[in-house]
Structure 1
Amino acid sequence: MTVTEIEKDLKVNNNDQKSEENVEYLEPEKPKFSWRVVDNHSPPEIYNWTLYMSIFVFGILGAARGLDEANSAGIAVQKSFRDQFGLNDPNKSVHEIADLKSNITAMVQLGSIGGAVIASFLVDWVGRVRSMQIVCVCWIVAVIIQITSRTLGQLYVGRLLEGLLAIGLTTTIGPTYISEVTPKAIRGMAGCIFAGAVYLGIMLSYFAHYGTAVHISQDSNTQWIIPNTLKIVFAGLIFILSIFFCVESPRWYIKVGKNETAVKALSKLRHLPETHPFLIGEITDITEQVEFEKRAKEGNTLWGLTLQLVRTKSMRYRFFMLSAMIHVLGQWSGANSVTIYAPELFGLSGIKGVETLKMTAVLGVVKFIGAYISAFFIIDFLGRRKALYIGISLQMMALLFFALFLLLVPEAAHEGEQASDLSPSQLHASKAAMAAIYISGLGWVTGFNSMQYLIGSEIFPINMRSFAQSITMVVHFANQYGNSKALPKMLLTLQPYGTFFFFVGVNFLALTWAWFCIPEVSGRSLESMEELFNLPWYLIGRRGHILCPDHSEVNKIDYSKGKFRYLDKPETEMHENASKASDDKEDD
């Protein structure tokens, strides 16, 4: 059955059902706050294990970044690794050691810049599921090159390939797929599963490094090799699960002209028959949007898409003011530095030796739990804007305390100085500084981390989504590379306290930006974003969700109270009048 035939069938079904006594027409209810997802407008069948497993497999793909970031933190303090690759060379100056450490750490981020570009082509060429499977195979090969390294050059090659062929692609593949298959009521929660999986990888890798540091000889290379093999385990697990449990994105099928396959795929994901009115309505919305966008981009090239990002007003705002800016501010907010250089930062607060790895492992637990608390209880319930406000504020205040501690208690950072050697007041301040690191992690996973993958996958139209997400991730990895390279030198030149005062300043700037620029898109369909971003730029963030409500769906259906009911769509004049009033104000 073709989509056109299904649409005709829908009209017949609608006419039949509208003549029945149990069909009612209702005004849409205003959303009410709740600590759980309430979706009265969808059949309960759409929330099923096929959907959940597909989201889960693509969600744990986010662990790839976390495994590498925590691994970078762990190997930097493992004696066997430092001896093998020259980090303990007495003939090197502190600046040379800092350069070497930053090169090893940042090599994956450097490769990921190219990987994000590759993803923009691969994810639309072979599909979301096949792209993920290719990434898993390449990831395993890159890790094998690393764990068999005996020279610095081979280590560089393995880490560069890991970024280029694996990690750089995951940040486009995962969020794009999840946003396309997830019902809008839980889209924020599902997107945060990917973001939270970063901290699953971080937590497991931290504990692996702590375990090998405690139980394996410092002179054995297996001390740093074993934690690296976690990447192979994850890549193999994701590959196998994708074969049995993942359904390709219906939006991608429609984009490449496989409309009938798209209907079948959506039927599997929603557990509804292909002729069900809800499923037909969703397919119709997607098809209309894709066809409109195909006509709009006929003859477009890669250069044309790039020009569209720059020249089109709504696209320009989405890319530069939202999608790219959240990654720039997020990467320089200090959170990435805390993750990658956590053992050294705990050393600055008075913890020494293998205890730094234990405290770092606890940080992994805190971030992991915080990420999923945010996913399940904050992002879709308080909304995107409030989650970002809370997260940035927590992170800023915690880093401010840590900066003041480093300024007022420099003794804690002295080489060989133990926390127990500090005075009672300094010891209390040291414990509070460690708590501040944990609180900054909670702020990060609630705010920037929850939003940085989610917002880019939500706000762009389907013809631009994977391309824009890939270019955004180029910005992400370029800034992460710069941050990873810069931090060792910043700690030497600005002093540790100056570095963290810099991060506080970035967070203050980010809080101001979030208040003015971030629109509330919780519960909006992906097809409704165009109307929101056609508002004047100064209204999008602060009043966009009020002036331009979501009225995109062809079929608004309510399944509550055992009745099949149609909801009247809001009048489109509401948006048009708001836009006209805003334009008049702008002209004045």
Structure 2
Amino acid sequence: MNQVRATTPPAVPLDEKGPHSRRLRLVTVIATFGGLLFGYDTGVINGALPYMKTDLGLSPFTEGLVTSSLLLGAALGAVVGGRLSDRRGRRRNILMLAVIFLIGTLGCTLAPTTAIMVLSRFVLGLAVGGASVTVPTYLAEVSPAERRGRLVTQNELMIVSGQLLAFTFNAIIGNSFGETGGVWRWMLVIATLPAVVLWFGMLVMPESPRWLASKDRFGDALAVLRQVRSARRAEAELAEVRQLAIEDKKSQTGGLRDLATPWIRRLVLVGIGIAIVQQITGVNSIMYYGTQILTDAGFSADSALTANIANGVISVLATFVGIYLLGKVNRRPMLIAGQVGTTGALLLIGVFSLLLPAGEGRAYVVLALTVTFLAFQQGAISPVTWLMLSEIFPLKLRGFGMGIAGLVLWLTNFAIGLTFPMLVAALHISTTFFIFVGLGVVAITFVAKYVPETRGRSLETLEVELHSRFDRSQPVAAGKEN
């Protein structure tokens, strides 16, 4: 089981344009409605929370609990969703998640008490976590290697678009009906629409060809590949997938017991590290509490709601840049550059929050720096994180590995979402951001030392390379990658 594969999967020809290209684009658009829901449901709390605080009588602790209960659900949803996608298939799992999105959204919208809100947000989190690991996996497995970076990152684009939609609807509804009781319920219920689109859309989408191959359904896998590849490419790619699927089956990979295998265990640890790196920038302190951060900096409540739209706009624009760069730049340098940028922006937010008096001047400086922070986060760190997590795990272990990494990612997110209001209350916002600066330095060191390069390989070739690399007896280190 520890023996390194002696053979590398044969190279496949580049894909050609044709009707299958339109089919692949449609598959990508429909599947990424899961990302849109992920973004909307995590972003909507930003503007809804101030109104919810009044209606439900939230304290700083229950405020953090309402926000972070979704994240705790997402942690469980990620690990369970990863396992279910390995057992039942990526497509069937996304269909189930669409139903959970709908149930959770309606529960939050109609919640009469804080307890019901926390429970409904937890249920909604199950869907968010499941989508966070299943959708990138599905996209990675239906995409050709040369387009995988851009197609998988379409999900990140939909996540930030969902957050932008949430910020925009929050501002419109809040500024127009802010004096109306229960206005936050209208902010939340909008998420039912993309959940319905996702469910109906996935009914007519194909299953992942690589998952089908892992279940020895090679004929079905070829039929799906012919939908999204040229005929010549489909045949060659199936041969590559078949070879590795058979070898994985012989090695019995695909579950918790495989963590006893050194190369798999070390690879999962690297995946966990990548997941933590994405969260300890403190990005979700801005995505969840951005309106309150801007209010504390000097904006009025209505102005903060409107100004927060800038955070959503820059996230979408930066993701477009990130999608372009993923086709041109290696993953690891891009991740390091993003970490340097976010750490620098947080340092400046902390410094100016200390030095500048409260008022419009400080408010606009903080807004400019949060926009800068999000440009680096959403343009480099977040796209690379979800892409690399969808790439690095072996076929039979992909859902499980993504689930473990997703579990840790969402637990880290939960810890930040729960403690941020209390840290700000106890330490002031500048000291809180200085803590994130220190974590950013640790993250940069980890990425430079341990994270492998994944660009330009098919999933099968990448599996062989990572098996060889992580099966060594010496500690993991960054090798020479192109």
User: Do they superpose with TM above 0.5?
Assistant: yes
- In the alignment, the residues of structure 1 paired with residue 93 and residue 366 of structure 2 have an alpha-carbon distance, to the nearest angstrom, of 43
Return the offset for 1:133.
Answer: 1.2
- In the alignment, the residues of structure 2 paired with residue 117 and residue 156 of structure 1 have an alpha-carbon distance, to the nearest angstrom, of 20
Which letter maps to 2:94?
M
Return the offset for 1:269.
Answer: 1.4
Aligned length: 469
Number of the residue aligned with 1:236: 196
How far does the alpha carbon of each residue in 1:330-371 deviate from its partner, in whole angstroms, 9 at most, with x for none? Answer: 212111111111011112322122111111111111101111
SS of the residue aligned with 1:460?
coil
Return the offset for 1:542.
Answer: 3.2
User: 2:339–2:381: 8 Å Cα contact kept in structure 1?
Assistant: yes
How far does the alpha carbon of each residue in 1:458-510 deviate from its partner, in whole angstroms, 9 at most, with x for none? Answer: 01111100011111111111111111111111112222111111111111221
How far does the alpha carbon of each residue in 1:219-278 deviate from its partner, in whole angstroms, 9 at most, with x for none? Answer: 321x2122212210110111222223x221111111122221111111111142xxx3x3
Question: Aligned pair in 2 of structure 1 residues 538, 41: CA closer, same or farther (>3 Å)?
Answer: farther
Choose from 533, 542, 545 the match for 2:478: 542
Number of the residue aligned with 2:82: 120
Q: Quick check: 1:326 aligned with 2:297?
A: no
Q: Quick check: 1:262 aligned with 2:221?
A: yes
- In the alignment, the residues of structure 1 paired with residue 164 and residue 474 of structure 2 have an alpha-carbon distance, to the nearest angstrom, of 41
Q: Quick check: 1:109 aligned with 2:80?
A: no
Which letter maps to 1:209?
N
Return the offset for 1:539.
Answer: 8.8
SS of the residue aligned with 1:76?
helix
- In the alignment, the residues of structure 2 paired with residue 102 and residue 498 of structure 1 have an alpha-carbon distance, to the nearest angstrom, of 19
Number of the residue aligned with 1:285: 240
- In the alignment, the residues of structure 1 paired with residue 83 and residue 42 of structure 2 have an alpha-carbon distance, to the nearest angstrom, of 26
Correspondence list, 1:430-445, <5 A: 430-445=363-378
Q: Quick check: 1:176 aligned with 2:137?
A: yes
Question: Aligned pair in 2 of structure 1 residues 459, 537: CA closer, same or farther (>3 Å)?
Answer: farther
Correspondence list, 1:375-454, <5 A: 375=323, 377-409=324-356, 411-412=357-358, 418-419=359-360, 427=361, 429-454=362-387
Which letter maps to 1:74?
G
Q: Quick check: 1:356 aligned with 2:292?
A: no
SS of the residue aligned with 1:542?
coil
How far does the alpha carbon of each residue in 1:407-446 deviate from its partner, in whole angstroms, 9 at most, with x for none? Answer: 112x31xxxxx42xxxxxxx2x542322111000011112
SS of the residue aligned with 1:77?
helix
User: 2:55–2:181: 8 Å Cα contact kept in structure 1?
Assistant: no
Question: Aligned pair in 2 of structure 1 residues 399, 195: CA closer, same or farther (>3 Å)?
Answer: same
Number of the residue aligned with 1:369: 317
- In the alignment, the residues of structure 2 paired with residue 510 and residue 266 of structure 1 have an alpha-carbon distance, to the nearest angstrom, of 38
Number of the residue aligned with 1:557: none
Which letter maps to 2:206?
V
User: 1:71–1:228: 8 Å Cα contact kept in structure 2?
Assistant: yes
- In the alignment, the residues of structure 2 paired with residue 393 and residue 451 of structure 1 have an alpha-carbon distance, to the nearest angstrom, of 15
User: 1:55–1:178: 8 Å Cα contact kept in structure 2?
Assistant: yes
SS of the residue aligned with 2:453?
coil
User: 2:141–2:210: 8 Å Cα contact kept in structure 1?
Assistant: yes
- In the alignment, the residues of structure 1 paired with residue 18 and residue 216 of structure 2 have an alpha-carbon distance, to the nearest angstrom, of 27
SS of the residue aligned with 1:240?
helix
How far does the alpha carbon of each residue in 1:77-133 deviate from its partner, in whole angstroms, 9 at most, with x for none? Answer: 22xx2222103xxxxxxxxx2101001001111112221232133212332112111
Choose from 131, 145, 150 the match for 2:112: 150
User: 1:520–1:541: 8 Å Cα contact kept in structure 2?
Assistant: no
TM-score norm. by structure 2 comes to 0.93
Which letter maps to 2:176?
H
Question: Aligned pair in 2 of structure 1 residues 395, 538: CA closer, same or farther (>3 Å)?
Answer: farther
User: Which deviates more, 527-536 or 132-141?
Assistant: 527-536
Choose from 251, 267, 273 the match for 1:296: 251
- In the alignment, the residues of structure 2 paired with residue 153 and residue 492 of structure 1 have an alpha-carbon distance, to the nearest angstrom, of 23
- In the alignment, the residues of structure 2 paired with residue 137 and residue 523 of structure 1 have an alpha-carbon distance, to the nearest angstrom, of 36
Number of the residue aligned with 1:191: 152
Which letter maps to 1:233?
L
User: 2:20–2:227: 8 Å Cα contact kept in structure 1?
Assistant: no
SS of the residue aligned with 1:228?
helix
- In the alignment, the residues of structure 1 paired with residue 21 and residue 114 of structure 2 have an alpha-carbon distance, to the nearest angstrom, of 48
Number of the residue aligned with 1:585: none
User: 1:84–1:150: 8 Å Cα contact kept in structure 2?
Assistant: no
User: 1:70–1:202: 8 Å Cα contact kept in structure 2?
Assistant: yes
SS of the residue aligned with 1:178?
helix
Q: Quick check: 1:209 aligned with 2:156?
A: no
How far does the alpha carbon of each residue in 1:289-338 deviate from its partner, in whole angstroms, 9 at most, with x for none? Answer: 001000110xx7x8xx32322x3232222211x21112212212111111
User: 1:251–1:286: 8 Å Cα contact kept in structure 2?
Assistant: yes
Question: Aligned pair in 2 of structure 1 residues 255, 498: CA closer, same or farther (>3 Å)?
Answer: same
- In the alignment, the residues of structure 1 paired with residue 181 and residue 55 of structure 2 have an alpha-carbon distance, to the nearest angstrom, of 10
Which letter maps to 1:125?
R
- In the alignment, the residues of structure 2 paired with residue 204 and residue 324 of structure 1 have an alpha-carbon distance, to the nearest angstrom, of 30
- In the alignment, the residues of structure 2 paired with residue 537 and residue 393 of structure 1 have an alpha-carbon distance, to the nearest angstrom, of 31
Number of the residue aligned with 1:307: 257
Instruction: Give the share of equivalent positions with the same residue, in percent.
Output: 21
- Larger gyration radius, structure 1 or structure 2: 1
User: 2:75–2:129: 8 Å Cα contact kept in structure 1?
Assistant: yes
- In the alignment, the residues of structure 2 paired with residue 235 and residue 190 of structure 1 have an alpha-carbon distance, to the nearest angstrom, of 21
Which letter maps to 1:251?
R
Number of the residue aligned with 2:429: 496
- In the alignment, the residues of structure 2 paired with residue 294 and residue 515 of structure 1 have an alpha-carbon distance, to the nearest angstrom, of 33
Stretches of structure 2 lacking an aligned partner (at least 5 in a row): 1-10
Number of the residue aligned with 1:479: 412
Number of the residue aligned with 1:131: 93
Which letter maps to 2:282?
G
User: 2:16–2:230: 8 Å Cα contact kept in structure 1?
Assistant: no
Question: Which structure's residues are more often helix, by fraction?
Answer: 2
Number of the residue aligned with 1:250: 209
User: 1:402–1:500: 8 Å Cα contact kept in structure 2?
Assistant: yes
- In the alignment, the residues of structure 2 paired with residue 83 and residue 337 of structure 1 have an alpha-carbon distance, to the nearest angstrom, of 21
Number of the residue aligned with 1:74: 47
